[in-house]
Amino acid sequence: MPRPESRAALELEDTGDLRHDLVDHLVALAELLSTTTGRAMQRVIQSARENPEVALPVDRIFERRPARLQQVVDTAAARGELPPVDGYFLAELLTGPVHLYVSRGLRPFTRAGAERITDVVLAGLRHAAG
């Protein structure tokens, strides 16, 4: 079971340090995905594409997340931490590797891994903005 602070970190914080907040978020996500509950949630989410009765509640759960993430991203952009970016796109870039680490199970997902992923993604966004 993920620690209570891991579950809280899944709700992306805005402490004024986007990098720190994103790293915490990725660590918490990996911890959750590594649990029986997390694996069950992944199976439910995957089955939602094929089952309209499952799709509706899953869609409702995920409707809230993009708005909150975009708010955090917009605030960080206003502080100059990154260029304006679509929050959904940023989330996919960051969380994709976490899902691969956890599902493959070849190496443990560490805070250092979360920092590396976050740094590469943020540097890429900054570079692309030129």
Q: Which domains does the chain have, with CATH numbers?
A: 4-129 (1.10.357.10)
Quick check: 115 and 94 in contact, CB under 8 A? no
Q: Which has the closest alpha carbon to 27: 10, 14, 4?
A: 10
Q: Work out the end-to-end distance of the chain between its first and last CA atoms, rounded to an integer number of angstroms.
A: 42
> What's the one-letter identity of residue 111?
R
Tens of pLDDT, residue by residue over 101-130, are 999 989 999 999 999 999 999 999 999 987
**CA-to-CA separations, 82 to 10, 19, 33, 87, in angstroms, rounded:** 21, 10, 27, 11
Tens of pLDDT, residue by residue over 18-77, are 999 999 999 999 999 999 988 888 888 888 888 888 888 877 777 767 788 899 999 999
Quick check: 129 and 83 in contact, CB under 8 A? yes
For the record, the structure tokens of 67 come out as 């708005």
> What's the one-letter identity of residue 72?
V
